[in-house]
Every structure is written in structure tokens, then in C-alpha cells.
A = this chain, B = another copy of it.
Amino acid sequence: MQFRPVKEQLDILLRGVAEIIPADELEQKLQKSYDAGIPLRVKLGVDPTAPDVHLGHTVVMRKLRQFQDLGHTVVLIVGDYTAQIGDPSGRNKARPRLSHEQVLENAKEYQQQFFRVVREDRVEIRYNGEWFSKLPFSKVTELMGQFTVAQMLEREDFHNRYVSNSPISLHEFMYPMMQGYDSVAIQSDIELGGTDQKFNVCRGRDLQMFEKMPLQIGMFMPILLGTDGKAKMSKSLGNYVGVNEPADVMYHKIYNLADSIVENWFELLTDVPLAEIKQMMTDVASGKLNPNVAKDRLAKNIVAQYYGAEAAEAAAVKEKEIHSGNAIPSDAKECRLDAGEYKILDLLVQVKAFSSKGEARRMVQNGGVKLAGEKVSDPMMEVKVSGSDQLLVQVGKRNFFKVNF
């Protein structure tokens, strides 16, 4: 196979990377692959514990895609065995153990989303039960013997749990060994991960050395901050953009991104040349460019990756219409209530717009609630609905509830 020159490959692959360990070996690996005409094997291990993929996960996936576009092979390890333990990285307690059935179900959902970023060709999907289900006990003890307790307890997450008397189960110490052995089993050249994966990825190198085979290098991508610009993107913090969200919802979330991380998102989530990004940011800083123009470009670029350019344009248009009250966003919640007469505050609580009538009353008094497009001003108002009616409730700018009776 004929690859692009190493220098060109490096230009693409180094974009956005936080760290490579060891730093100097990527070029050597690429050169060797180029000379021999053999693709590199680029590993990503995932535990499909919670299969919802968001843009934070795509930072690594986009890097895999770059490797594929350059002719290399991606090996996706689905950790059906490791998921039963759960990666303790960055955790402050043991994860609940998942059943094997649950893990396989999650894995299916995960892959559907994974392939929205990664090509379906040039990929090898391997479940690590393939080797772990057959690993003899004597091999387990041999592999465990390659690591020390102190080495594990130096890891920040384990260390913190140990000193704060939060229990660490012994099987959690097996996790890094398992992730490392995955690299042995698939003869990985490069393992990708977030910077929180450094410890585990280096264990793969250890075990490859123990097995006297060529050593993988670790390539670490930064952890993406969520839309609030403050914390790591995560579903539970509500600062995420899911790859399965509708185009207009995706657009809306990105268009309202915290200013401080627009540049970082451009670098990690788009192919816009770095020089162009720099120029945009300079222009925004000097007042020459409205920051919303930059965000519109970012939002359209990302939406287009998942839905195409046309859908991205449409999402931008819809964003304006929703803003001026002429459209309803795709993530409006729907629910069903019995026909009859409702006091407006009861209705708002029943559709779960508010958790108490007190909260609902304050919002009505502040003019933040609309019923079928009309502002509600009287908190004592009554609403009468008969079967097959649909009622649109709007709370604040963007919180819509379609109520069916």
C-alpha cells in the first residue's frame, strides 16, 4: 500500500493532540509503515457502560477517522469483559457491575453512534471476551505479577480513594492489566485515549514489553469542555451535545456555546485550518467580527458532519424562527393528560415543567409562561380541554411541552 509522505501525515495527525508517549516514536512508526507499505493498527478501547455518545467522545473518534483517511486500520476494542468491572479511571468509587447481556446491548447502540464519525471500512471490531474468556488462571497471575500495588496506588484516583478510606475492590486493580493485555492481543501500534487514560495506556506498553513484542505508543487527546465552558462534557452535567440529537437542537446548543471555548471546539471538532481559526479569533477579539458569526460557522460545520450542509443551513434558519416564536424545537417534550378542566399551575406541574406550584407561580408572575403562543398573566387562570386537543406550553425561551389530551 502507498501512503502519503510521513511529513504530511504528521501535519494532520498532530492537530489538537495533548500528548504522545513516547513523543518521538510516532514519526518512526509512520516511517516504518510507509517504508513497508503496511497500515498501522490504531487501538481504541471502549466500555459500553453508558452508550450515549456526545461530542466529547468524538474528539478521539475524529482522530481515528484521520488515521483511517490516511490508510491506517482502526481496531475498536469493545470491552465486554472490562465493562463488567468498569474503568476506575477518575472515579471515586467502584462502578456497579453490568451483566454481559446489558453490555452487549449497550455495545450495539454504541457502534451505531461510533460509525457516525468513524468509517465502517478500515476498522476491526474485537470484543475482549475473545481472549479473556480463554485466559488461563496461571496467565492471569503472571500478568498481574507485572505490576505493583504502589504503582496502582500512585494513580491519583486510586490514591484519593485509598487515603479517604473509600473502598477499592481488588478487581479494580485488574482493570489496567486487562486494558494493557488488549494491546497485546491485537498487537496495537498506537493506542488513542483522553488524557485521563495515560496510566492504563502505558500498562499496555508494559505488557507488550513483557511479551517481547513491538511497543505501542500512546496518543492522548484533550478532554473536551462542555457547552458551559467550565466542566468536562458529560450527560449528567447537562452540558453535552449528543451525536444523536436532532440537527436544530445540536445547532442551538453549539450556537449558545460559552465564548471562552469556541476556538478549542474549532480545533478539536472541525477541520477548519488552524490559521483560519486564529484569524477569526483575532477578528472577534478586535471587534471586527461578531462572535455569533464564528459560533454560527462552528455550529453549521459540526451539524453538517452529522446531517449534511443543507440540514445545517436549515437548522440555522430554524434557530432564528424559534427565537422569534415561529417554530418549535425538535426537543420539545410530549406528554398526555386526561381531558377536563385544569388550573394553570396544576397543569404546569403535571406536565413536569415545574416540580412545585410555587415555582410555577413565580414563572407565570414573571411573564415566562405561554399557552398556545399567548402569554399567561393570571396564575389562577383555568384551562378547559377536550379529547384530541393538543396544547403547546412554552416556559422561558426554549422549553416547550406538547400536551396531548
Chain A residues at the B interface, C-beta cutoff of 8 Å: 81, 84-85, 94, 97, 100, 132-133, 135-138, 140-142, 144-150, 152-153, 158, 162, 165, 167-171, 173-174, 177
Is there contact, CB below 8 Å, between B162 and A150? yes
Cβ 8 A contact of A137, one of B132, B145, B153, B162: B132
Cross-chain contact A141 with B174 (CB below 8 angstroms): yes
A145 to B, closest residue via Cβ: B171
Which of B158, B167, B169 meets A144, CB within 8 Å? B169
A147, B170: Cβ atoms closer than 8 Å? yes
6 more A-B contacts (CB under 8 A) besides A133-B136, A149-B167, A149-B173? A85-B145, A140-B140, A140-B174, A141-B171, A149-B149, A149-B153
Query: Chain B residues with Cβ under 8 A from A137's Cβ?
Result: 81, 132-133, 135, 137, 140
Copies in the assembly, this chain: 2
Q: Are A149 and B132 in contact (CB under 8 A)?
A: no
- Cβ A141 vs Cβ B173 within 8 A: no
Q: How far is the CB of A146 from chain B (nearest CB, A)?
A: 8
Contacts of A174 in B (CB 8 A): 140-141, 144, 170
Complexed CA–CA distance, A145 and B171 (Å): 5
Residues of B within 8 A of A170 (CB): 144-149, 152, 173-174, 177
Tell me the smallest distance from the CB of A206 to a CB of chain B, in Å.
Answer: 12
| A135 proximity list for chain B (CB < 8 A) | 137
Chain B residue at smallest Cβ distance from A177:
B170
CB–CB B165/A150 < 8 A: yes
Supposing A133-B136, A173-B173 touch, asked if A168 and B141 sit within 8 A by C-beta, the answer is: no
